[in-house]
Amino acid sequence: MNQTIVTLRKGEGRTIKAGGAWIFDNEIDTITGSFHNGDLVEVHDFDGYPMGRGFINQNSKIRIRMMSRKPDTQINEEFLEMRVRNAWEYRKTTVDTSSCRVIFGEADFLPGLVVDKYEDVLVVQCLALGMEQFKQIIVDILKEVLAEDGIIVRGVYERSDANERTKEGLPKHKGFIGDPFDTNVEIVENGVHYMVDVVNGQKTGFFLDQKYNRLAMQRICKGKRVLDCFTHMGTFALNAGIAGAAEVTGLDISEYAVEQATANAQRNHLQDTVHFCCANVLDELPKLAAAGEKYDVVILDPPAFTKSREATKNAIKGYREINMKGLKLVKDGGYLATCSCSHFMTEELLAKTVKEAAKAVHKRLRQVEFRTQAPDHPILWAADESYYLKFFIFQVVEEK
Catalytic amino acids?
341
* Signed CA dihedral, 354, 359, 362, 366: sign only: positive
Q: Is the Cβ–Cβ distance between 25 and 90 less than 8 Å?
A: no
CA angle (237, 242, 244) in 5-degree steps: 100
Neighbours of 200 (CB within 10 A): 12
Q: Tell me the DSSP string of 177-218.
A: SSS----EEEEEETTEEEEEETTTSSTTSS-GGGHHHHHHHH
Is residue 353 helix, strand or coil?
A: helix
CA separation (Å) from 160 to 170, 176, 290, 389?
Answer: 10, 11, 43, 22
- Give the sheet arrangement for strand 390-398, strand by strand: 274-278, 247-252, 225-229, 295-300, 330-340, 390-398, 363-372
Distance separating alpha carbons of residues 255 and 260, to the nearest angstrom: 9
Distance separating alpha carbons of residues 30 and 98, to the nearest angstrom: 47
Report CA 269 to chain centroid distance, whole Å. 28
